[in-house]
Amino acid sequence: MEESKSATEVHSAGKTGAEDSAESQANEATGEASSQMPNKPTAEAEARYKRMKLFDKVMQKSLNKFIEDVSFNRFASMFRPLYSKNPQRMESIHKQFIEELRGTIQEDINRLIEEGQLELKLNELDKLERATKDSPDPAWRPSGVPEQDFCSFLMPYYQKQEAYMRRELKKIQAENAALAQKVQGGRESISQTEHRISAAVDEWKASVTEFERLASSLCPADVFDV
Per-residue model confidence as pLDDT tens digits over 29-51: 445 444 444 455 677 778 778 88
Give the C-alpha distances (Å, rounded to integers) separating 83 from 72, 93, 177, 180: 11, 10, 88, 91
Find out whether 10 and 91 touch, Cβ atoms under 8 Å: yes
What is the helix (H) or strand (E) element at residue 16, kind and residue range?
A: helix 2-36
The pLDDT of residue 8: 47
| Listed ranges 32-41, 57-66, 126-135, 213-222; the one with the highest mean pLDDT | 57-66
Least confident of 1-15, 108-122, 187-201: 1-15
The C-alpha atoms of residue 67 and residue 106 are separated, in whole angstroms, by: 12
pLDDT band at 149 (very low <50, low <70, confident <90, very high): confident
3-state class of 162 per DSSP?
helix
Nearest-CA neighbor of 59 among 17, 20, 32, 29?
29
User: Which pLDDT band holds residue 129 (cuts at 50, 70, 90)?
Assistant: confident
Return the closest-CA partner of residue 111 out of 33, 59, 53. 59
Determine the Cα–Cα distance for residues 32 and 25; give it in Å rounded to an integer: 10
Average pLDDT rounded to a whole number, residues 43-66 = 85
Q: Quote the pTM value.
A: 0.40
In angstroms, the CA 97 to CA 100 distance is 5
Asked whether residue 13 carries a pLDDT value surpassing 60, the answer given is: no
Sequence-distant (6+) residues with CB within 8 A of 73 are: 7, 8, 11
Per-residue confidence (pLDDT) for residue 20, from 0 to 100: 53
Among the ranges given (9-18, 162-171, 212-221), the one the predictor scored with the smallest mean pLDDT: 9-18
Highest mean pLDDT out of 41-55, 59-73, 141-155: 59-73
Cβ atoms within 10 Å, residue 34 = 10
Residue 146 has pLDDT above 80, yes or no: yes
What was the pLDDT predicted at 219? 61
Query: What integer is the mean pLDDT of 172-199?
Result: 92
